[in-house]
């Protein structure tokens, strides 16, 4: 039985990821309302959670992938915080132990390139071992 590209990427995303870069609204290392130094994102199935290094929960929710889109598409739905229940359209790259996504604010169109401007947030991660 063959595995779809989205199923393959979902499997590769499973586990714990450490954020190494953040850019928002065109500003590198902008203040991060949903992260903290040393924060880790855990992906389990279609669920994600973001916790501080002391395990305090910052954010969680669900996501869906479309690895057949160009660029690859991911849609985040937070289950807590100011964007709870709203869909955040994004694109992503997944290469070995590196994961990058750029998300649009709720109700904005999906980004088409890996560059921020007002309303766009980009996060870069490495797999935490």
Say which CATH number the domain at 45 has: 2.40.128.540
What ranges make up the beta strands (E) of 2-97?
A: 15-24, 27-28, 40-44, 47-51, 57-66, 73-78, 87-95
pTM for this prediction: 0.91
- Bridge pairing between strands 40-44 and 73-78: unpaired
Query: Which pLDDT score is estimated for 34?
Result: 67
**What pLDDT, in 10s, does the model give residues 88-103?**
999 999 998 999 999 9
Query: Which pLDDT score is estimated for 1?
Result: 61
Q: Quick check: 69 and 81 in contact, CB under 8 A?
A: no
**What pLDDT, in 10s, does the model give residues 27-48?**
888 777 766 777 899 999 999 9
| Number of domains observed in the structure of the chain | 1
Q: What is the distance between the alpha carbons of residues 45 and 63, in angstroms, rounded to a whole number?
A: 9
Q: Quick check: 67 and 74 in contact, CB under 8 A?
A: no
Q: Which domain covers residue 60, as residue numbers?
A: 5-127
Task: Determine how many CB atoms are found less than 10 A away from the CB of residue 44.
Answer: 11
Mean pLDDT of the chain: 92
Ranges of the chain whose pLDDT falls below 50:
none
């Amino acid at each position: 039985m063959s595995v779809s590209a989205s199923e393959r990427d979902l499997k590769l995303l499973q586990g714990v990821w450490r954020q190494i870069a953040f850019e928002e609204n065109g500003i590198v290392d902008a203040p991060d309302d949903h992260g903290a130094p040393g924060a880790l994102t855990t992906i389990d199935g279609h669920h994600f959670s973001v916790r501080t290094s002391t395990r305090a929960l910052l954010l969680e929710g669900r996501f869906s992938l479309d690895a057949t889109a160009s660029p690859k598409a991911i849609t985040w739905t937070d289950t807590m915080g100011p964007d709870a229940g709203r869909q955040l359209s994004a694109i992503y790259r997944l290469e070995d132990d590196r994961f990058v996504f750029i998300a649009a604010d709720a109700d904005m169109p999906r980004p088409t390139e890996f560059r921020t401007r007002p309303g766009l947030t980009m996060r870069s991660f490495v797999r935490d071992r």
